[in-house]
Chains A and B, each alone.
Chain A
Amino acid sequence: NAGVTQTPKFQVLKTGQSMTLQCAQDMNHNSMYWYRQDPGMGLRLIYYSASEGTTDKGEVPNGYNVSRLNKREFSLRLESAAPSQTSVYFCASSSPSRQEQYFGPGTRLTVT
């Protein structure tokens, strides 16, 4: 069991470039989440997906789009990166029965 995997681990973008962060889980979880973590700010929810085929905005969705490709995969897309999107991005998943969220190792993104 790999748990939650994220790619890439590190990425540097120039302002205006686009990219997609990939996330996959092998725990058969229904719910998946994207968070961003900035120094001193804790974890802030960008988007979440309660089940395959559904997505919903979180606290800070502006500038991002998501796709729940299937039950395993949940991707986050930055269409036109901005320096304010420099952050560490975590993907997580959970099941209704166990409730705890399992986090991936994170993607450290720098936008110059």
Chain B
Amino acid sequence: QQPVQSPQAVILREGEDAVINCSSSKALYSVHWYRQKHGEAPVFLMILLKGGEQKGHEKISASFNEKKQQSSLYLTASQLSYSGTYFCGTEIRGNNRLAFGKGNQVVVIP
């Protein structure tokens, strides 16, 4: 039930773009994205409901392909503040009970 996130780690220079992915073997009701910085709590970024919508948060956007049960997070013109571990949480039944993936570690260097 735990979604699979890839790649495990990404290193990019300031200003570069990156895509990180989250896939599930089950039909999804929604996908949540959270970011966690070292030693801190996860912080909500965005939620995508089934219907293939796209959302954005600053220069971070995401898509949800419900046919493939996949979501992708797009980091555009990355900033140093984007460094952290990104977790996707997948919801199956619409009860806001999430299964989280193992995370994508993103490191942005100057």
Contacts and interface: CB of A to CB of B under 8 A. Distances in A.
B103 A42 contact: yes
Interface in B15-43: 30, 32, 34, 40-43
A95 to B, nearest CB: 9
Interface residues of B, number: 22
A53 interface: no
Interface residues of A, number: 23
A35 B99 CA distance: 10
B102 A41 contact: yes
Nearest to B46: A100
Contact of B44 (A96, A102, A104): A102
Interface stretch (B58-66, B68-76, B90-98): B90-98
Interface of A: 31, 35, 40-45, 48, 50, 58-59, 90, 94, 96, 99-106
